[in-house]
Structure 1
Amino acid sequence: MSLGPRLELRQGQGLVITPQLQQAIKLLQLSNIELEAFVEAELERNPLLQRDAEPEAEQDAPKVDRAEAAADEMPDAAATADMDGGHEELSPGERDSGEGGEAADGGGAIDWSRAGKGGSFESEDDFEGRLSKEKTLSEHLHDQLAVAGLSEAERGVAAVLIDAVDEGGYLRADLDEIGERLGCGMPFVEGVLSVLHGFEPTGVMARDVRECLSLQLREKDRLDPAMDALLANLDLLARRDMAGLKKLCGVDDEDLRDMISELRALTPRPGAAFGGEPAHPVSPDVYVREGPGGLWHVELNTDTLPRVLVDQRYHARVSGGARTEADKAFLSDCMATASWLVRSLDQRARTILKVASEIVRQQDGFLAYGVQHLRPLNLKTVADAIGMHESTVSRVTSNKYIATPRGLFELKFFFTASIASSSGGEAHSAESVRHRIRQLIETERDETQVHSDDTIVDILKEAGVDIARRTVAKYREAMRIPSSVERRRALRAAV
């Protein structure tokens, strides 16, 4: 057999991600603020794009046409979805329509809202920038929430509380208002907040400076009555009224100096150590309102969807004067980019509406009765229901907000953990699985009965819970339960 270079032809199949497909993927995960920013840049860059500032009643004006939208049967209107319990009635959003309208159909109205044109994408993947980006305080708190071992209702309340934390780490929210809005009551919210007070950095989620410092002193086991009295009279400390402080705290000069030194060693702004992001007003991408007969009407917020058109008239005028091949290539590229952008942004709007509608259908119990009725929900469930890939649903729900009768929420708020059933039945909620793990460990009476994580996995699988060993370990650690080795050693020492 001889060795040497040679040429061969082979046929094969492969997935090629074109630049336009990459841009379409990025387009899905942009927030409405990023969307608006890039629209302005594209209007400056592409002479064939024009902002649609005309009233809808003047859409038949001849000077500007929709860029090839009719050829691809892409609608200019996105329909709202009506949901009654588990039933979803989507309006005929697949048909081509140039303007909004209304339709009546027995049980409830089908609303239409004009889907605007606009969009944005980056020319380069900012992977390196994302890697070097400093984690924000909100991200740090949400990471801890993911392993805190809370129930689905508690996680929902905790997410709302975390979103109300300012850059200094202080909670800026009315607990009464949150309890009423989420339908769970003030005591329930306070219970969740007490758990959040155990998150790092110590002192985070406090409502004032006194509570922030108290949390830090309690962790150091230094919150005695004298120190508590000092914290209750920080105004006297600011005025340097040492005589008044000594009397109130019941200490002498040396003790007071030590106490003040301890206070100075604490951190009054625990969130300052984390990366911050510029504060932007949040505008909802989707609205949900309750209609007659228990229907939930879902519609796009068209104010966040800038409309962009292709100026066909201007293209016809300048293309006739193009002399060189470079000029013709430039105009052709501008036309192709503008036409694709208009179509893709219309598809983006309809995709957001479709995903949001399914989320509302799945979580209608929360909308009607409050956070206690949040259901286990993951990306796959939504993706399978609407015939999309999980990654698409993930991108759509990133940085997108929905305005509901219970407040403004990020779409990711509605995704809660669940554990699959090994027998193919209904999934188990993560909280119920954690409760089973806790019960199994509480039955251990001596070192011979201690269950390892692998043993717990086998017991749960026999009960129909399909769970991995690392998940059991994660839940156990979140509940602050020692490992089997440590539990066995403790039981042996107690004998």
Structure 2
Amino acid sequence: MSAMQRLELRQGQSLTMTPQLVQSIKLLQLSHAELAAYVAAELERNPLLQEGEIRADTPSLSLADFLRARQKAQAAGARIVPGPPPLRGQPASGTPGPAHGEIRPELEETLARTASLTEHLQAQLDLATFDSHLRAIGEHLIHSLDEAGYLREDPDEIAAHLGVAAAEVEAALRLIQTFEPSGVGARDLAECLKIQLKERGRLDPAMQALLQHLHLVARQDFPALRRVCGVDGQDLADMLAEIRRLEPKPGLAFTPARIDVLVPDVLVRPAPDGSLRVELNPDTLPRILFDRAYYTEVAKVLRKDEDKSFLSECVQTGSWLTRSLEQRARTILKVATEIARQQEDFFREGIAGLRPMTLKSVADAIDMHESTVSRVAANKAIGSERGTYPMKFFFGAATGEGEHAAKAVRHRIAQLIGAETPEDVLSDEAIAQRLKREGIHVARRTVAKYREALRIPSSAVRRRRHSREA
């Protein structure tokens, strides 16, 4: 049997993700702050785009302005190729520097950098010892600390990994525990507090006994604490007050705090007819327009091929961006409208009216893919008379046998416990029975899980607390 070669022509269909479609998807999941930064970069790069409304009295750019924009784009490493500009995390291939259109950090952000916990401890280690062997072990320990400053790995396992004696690891750890911030390098909370108290000269036998019985502190079993510490009630109160002034997570002081202001992308308001009106927040919508008059004026006088190529790129990227922003706004509004429809009781009654809702239920209702709804919900918020909530807040499966959202059940549990009296402290089983009478069928273990998630102590601890307050 001989092998034969032949050519065949077949027709078929396949789904291809074009670069424009990929970048439109990325644009959809940006927050309004990231979108504003991206649009600002495009406005600076593309002279055919104008912010706001183009009026007859708006002064037009000159040809010289257009040529300066092209030179600036080339100096920034921009390639003159048709197509949409790359978004963050998608550098242009073959571009030596940062891709044009990329969202870069502001100058203030690069100057305001503070030393990390690792760098802070490393600088102290360099000054604390000249022993290269001890420093090598210390560097490994420093890099093993979590962001709170704790050593979660077993020192014996670290010693085996490094091939050194366990005593050497302990010596390096004791050295690190003398560094600032006080309490860093501890293996647990008790050791962290012990280090800080020792530096203050307050680690007496009574305080050591208190640190060995922190579980009694968590249970607020003060009679047992007085017995194990051998102190009276006033001394115990002073010791507990001193413990509270210590820092349980010293490493967090070197974690830069982010201030996230939740600005709504969508507003839900009651309409005069009693329905809900859903509209986009105009303060978070970028306003850009394609200046066709300026394009016509510049296109008449350009002679060089590179200038014409740059103009063609500006036309395509500008048209793509304006269309993508319009599509993004329509998609967000469509998803938010369906969320408001399914969660209408929440906007009228509060969290008690929250209903189970999944990405699939929203996607099926508006004939979209779940991934599209997920991208819309990411980094977006809905504002209403009830407050401003992340869009993901409204998604959640049902709990128990009824059609009740888990967040609403947790809220009801907190209400029941908040309304209890010293004479009637509710157990988890009693809470489950009350919820059942209200039509919320959940098991006792589910009540316990939600109560612990709310950081509410058990009924026994609450009962002791009420008796002491009485």
TM-score, structure 1 normalization: 0.46
The structure whose residues are more often strand, as a share, is 1
Higher relative contact order (CA 8 A, sep 6+): 1
